[in-house]
Amino acid sequence: MMIKTKFWGEADIDESKMLTMANGLIGFEGFTKFVMIPHEKDANFGWLQSAENQHLCFLITTPTSFMFDYSIDISDETVNCLGITAAEDVAIYCLVTVPEDPLQISANLSGPLIFNVTNCTGEQVVVMDERYSVKHYIIDELKANAPRVIDNLTSAFTGQAVSEAPPAIDESIFSAENFAAELEESLKVCNSYMNQ
């Protein structure tokens, strides 16, 4: 199926991967068909492109890519509406905003997108949890979690649990500043798309 996209012209989309959001997105309720397009440079990001309006294209990410303990309760109503039968059916994404200063990139954690990956249905829900906001700063979260990232990576590289005092690794390569620099480079690519 051919659709018009915001950044890539016409694209041939596999209809079996078309996402149906019966209620649309908040503020865009009239548009219910979407496709996910991977980000070319950064696997942590992707694009949610409307199949009905080429101008509706949103940068998205998984909340756990920067906030490791992100968790929400999915209502029975949403579970039933999306036909969710197992935890493995669920994929959670959030909309990302990239302002003029890319270091102020933020994610809407209180309005996540819930998808059932087995039947390609989705819904944007509103989460009433004081830990999450519509403008949660990704860089700040990465800086706060940098020590945990270092511990996790150290464990992965050495095969030892962190509590086993693994051998020293140059942790500077995992610094918050390096995370921010890599993210800023990815955001330059995002901005180049958005400014087309």
Per-residue pLDDT reduced to its tens digit, 91-118:
999 999 999 888 899 999 999 999 999 9
Q: Give me the domain span that covers residue 146.
A: 138-181
Same domain as 168, residue 78: no
Q: How far apart are CA 52 and CA 43, in angstroms?
A: 25
Domain co-membership, 38 together with 91: yes
Q: Are 122 and 20 in contact (CB under 8 A)?
A: yes
In 3D, which of 31, 32, 14 has the Cα closest to residue 122? 32
Mean pLDDT of 129-142: 93
What pLDDT, on a 0 to 100 scale, did the predictor assign at position 182? 63
Where residue 175 falls among pLDDT bands split at 50, 70, 90? low
pTM: 0.76
pLDDT at 162 over 70: no
CB of 127 closer than 8 Å to CB of 92: no
Identify the CA nearest to 10 among candidates 1, 19, 18: 1
The answer to the question of residue 114 being in a domain is yes
27 with 66, same domain?
yes
Q: What are the pLDDT digits (tens) for 60-81?
A: 999 998 898 999 999 999 999 9
Is the same domain home to 107 and 50? yes
User: Of the given ranges (2-6, 40-44, 166-170, 185-189), which has the lowest mean pLDDT?
Assistant: 166-170
Confidence band for 147, pLDDT divided at 50, 70 and 90: low
The pLDDT value given to residue 157: 45
> Is residue 191 a part of any domain in this protein?
no
**Shared-domain flag, residues 46 and 61:** yes
Same domain, 98 and 149: no
